[in-house]
A and B are shown apart, each in its own frame.
Chain A
Amino acid sequence: MDHILSLIIFFPLVAGIFGFLVNKDSIRVYGITVAALEFTLTLALWLGFDNNIDGFQFVEHAVLISHFGMSYHLGVDGISLFLVVLSTFMTLVALIGLSITKNVKNLIITVLYLEMTMVGVFLSLDVILFYLFWEFSLVPMLYIIGAWGSDRRIYAAIKFFLYTFAGSALMLVAILYMGYLYHATTGVWSFSIPDWQLLILPFNLQMWLFGAFFLAFAIKVPMFPFHTWLPYAHGQAPTIGSVMLAAVLLKMGTYGMVRFLLPLFPDATVYFVIPVAIAAIVMVIYAAMVAYAQEDMKQVIAYSSISHMGIIILGTFALNAEGITGSIFLMISHGIVSGALFMLVGVIYDRRHTKMMSEFGGLAISMPTFATIYGIMLMASVGLPLTIGFVGEFLSLMGFYKVSWIMTAFAGTGIILGAIYMLNLYRKSFFGEITNEKNRGLKDLNARELSALIPLVALAVLLGVYPKPILTPIDVSVKKMIVLMEKKAIKPETKEFIVKVNTIKGGE
Chain B
Amino acid sequence: MLEPISISLGSLNITSLLPMVITAFGALTIICIDLMTKTLSRSFYTMLTVLFILLSLISVIGYTGASRGFFDLVLVDGISLMTQIIILVTSALFVPLALGGKRFQEFAMAEFYALFLFMITGFQFMVASDSLILIFIGLETASLALYTMIAMHNRKKAHEAAIKYFTMGALAAGFFVMSSLIFYALTGSVEIHQIAEVLAAKNFEPLVGILAATVFMIGALGFKLSIVPFHTWTPDIYEGSSAALAGYMSVVPKIAGFVVAMRLFEMLIGSGVLWLEYVLYGAVVLTMTMGNILALVQEDVKRMLAFSSIAHSGFVLSAILIGTTEANAGLFLYWILFMFTNLGAFTMLWATRNRKNLWDGRYQHPYSKFSGLVKIMPTNAVVMGIFMFALAGMPPFSVFWGKLYLLSAAVNSGFIILAIIMVINSAIAVYYYMKLIVYMFLKDPITEDGNVYTSNNSTVLKVIIGFAVFMTTISIVLVEPLLNIITQYVSNSGF
Residue A198 at the B interface, CB < 8 A? Answer: no
A147's partner among B419, B434, B441 (CB-CB below 8 A) is B441
- How many angstroms between the C-alpha atoms of A68 and B374 in the bound complex? 37
- How many angstroms between the C-alpha atoms of A86 and B411 in the bound complex? 37
Tell me which of B407, B424, B442, B476 has the highest count of chain A C-beta atoms within 10 A of its own C-beta: B442
Residue B58 at the A interface, CB < 8 A? Answer: no
In the complex, the answer to whether B407 meets A172 with C-beta atoms within 8 Å is yes
A176's partner among B375, B394, B411, B442 (CB-CB below 8 A) is B411
Residue B487 at the A interface, CB < 8 A? Answer: yes
A90-148 at interface with B (beta carbon < 8 Å): 103, 106, 128, 131-132, 135-136, 139, 142-143, 146-147
In the complex, the answer to whether A162 meets B431 with C-beta atoms within 8 Å is yes
- How many angstroms between the C-alpha atoms of A180 and B410 in the bound complex? 10
- How many angstroms between the C-alpha atoms of A170 and B419 in the bound complex? 9
Question: Can you list, as one digit per residue, whether each of B278-304 has a CB less than 8 Å from chain A (1) or not (0)?
Answer: 000000000000000000000000000
Question: Can you list, as one digit per residue, whether each of B183-195 has a CB less than 8 Å from chain A (1) or not (0)?
Answer: 0000000000000
Nearest residue in A to B422 (C-beta to C-beta)? Answer: A173
In the complex, the answer to whether B407 meets A176 with C-beta atoms within 8 Å is yes
Residues of A within 8 A of B442 (CB): 143, 146-147, 153-154, 157
- How many angstroms between the C-alpha atoms of A154 and B443 in the bound complex? 8
Residue B137 at the A interface, CB < 8 A? Answer: no
A25-75 at interface with B (beta carbon < 8 Å): 64-68
In the complex, the answer to whether A135 meets B395 with C-beta atoms within 8 Å is yes
Chain B: interface residue total (CB-CB under 8 A): 36
Known A-B contacts A67-B480, A173-B411, A176-B411; the reply to A166 vs B427 at CB < 8 A is yes
User: What is the CB-to-nearest-CB distance from A139 to chain B, in angstroms, rounded to a whole number?
Assistant: 7
In the complex, the answer to whether A136 meets B395 with C-beta atoms within 8 Å is yes
Residues of B within 8 A of A147 (CB): 441-442
A154-181 at interface with B (beta carbon < 8 Å): 154, 157-158, 161-162, 165-166, 169-170, 172-173, 176-177, 179-180
- How many angstroms between the C-alpha atoms of A160 and B305 in the bound complex? 24
In the complex, the answer to whether B411 meets A135 with C-beta atoms within 8 Å is no
Residues of A within 8 A of B412 (CB): 180, 183
In the complex, the answer to whether B483 meets A65 with C-beta atoms within 8 Å is yes
Residues of A within 8 A of B423 (CB): 169-170, 172-173
Interface of B is mostly: helix
Residues of A within 8 A of B446 (CB): none
User: What is the CB-to-nearest-CB distance from A174 to chain B, in angstroms, rounded to a whole number?
Assistant: 9
Residues of B within 8 A of A103 (CB): 375
- How many angstroms between the C-alpha atoms of A172 and B424 in the bound complex? 11
In the complex, the answer to whether A176 meets B420 with C-beta atoms within 8 Å is no
In the complex, the answer to whether B480 meets A64 with C-beta atoms within 8 Å is yes
Residue B438 at the A interface, CB < 8 A? Answer: yes
- How many angstroms between the C-alpha atoms of A183 and B411 in the bound complex? 12
Tell me which of A64, A128, A169, A170 has the highest count of chain B C-beta atoms within 10 A of its own C-beta: A169
- How many angstroms between the C-alpha atoms of A179 and B426 in the bound complex? 20
In the complex, the answer to whether B427 meets A165 with C-beta atoms within 8 Å is yes
- How many angstroms between the C-alpha atoms of A177 and B414 in the bound complex? 9
- How many angstroms between the C-alpha atoms of A158 and B442 in the bound complex? 11
Residue B396 at the A interface, CB < 8 A? Answer: yes
Nearest residue in A to B392 (C-beta to C-beta)? Answer: A165
In the complex, the answer to whether B389 meets A139 with C-beta atoms within 8 Å is yes
B480's partner among A65, A142, A180 (CB-CB below 8 A) is A65
In the complex, the answer to whether A176 meets B396 with C-beta atoms within 8 Å is no
In the complex, the answer to whether B395 meets A67 with C-beta atoms within 8 Å is no
Residues of A within 8 A of B374 (CB): 106
In the complex, the answer to whether A154 meets B420 with C-beta atoms within 8 Å is no
In the complex, the answer to whether B434 meets A173 with C-beta atoms within 8 Å is no
B407-441 at interface with A (beta carbon < 8 Å): 407-408, 411-412, 416, 419-420, 423-424, 426-427, 430-431, 434, 437-438, 441
Residues of A within 8 A of B437 (CB): 142
Binding site for A on B (CB under 8 A): 374-375, 378, 389, 394-396, 401, 404-405, 407-408, 411-412, 416, 419-420, 423-424, 426-427, 430-431, 434, 437-438, 441-443, 476-477, 479-480, 483-484, 487
26 cross-chain CB contacts under 8 A:
A64-B479, A66-B480, A67-B480, A68-B479, A68-B483, A103-B375, A106-B374, A106-B378, A135-B395, A142-B437, A158-B434, A158-B438, A161-B430, A161-B434, A162-B427, A162-B430, A162-B431, A169-B423, A170-B423, A172-B404, A173-B407, A173-B411, A176-B411, A177-B416, A180-B408, A180-B412
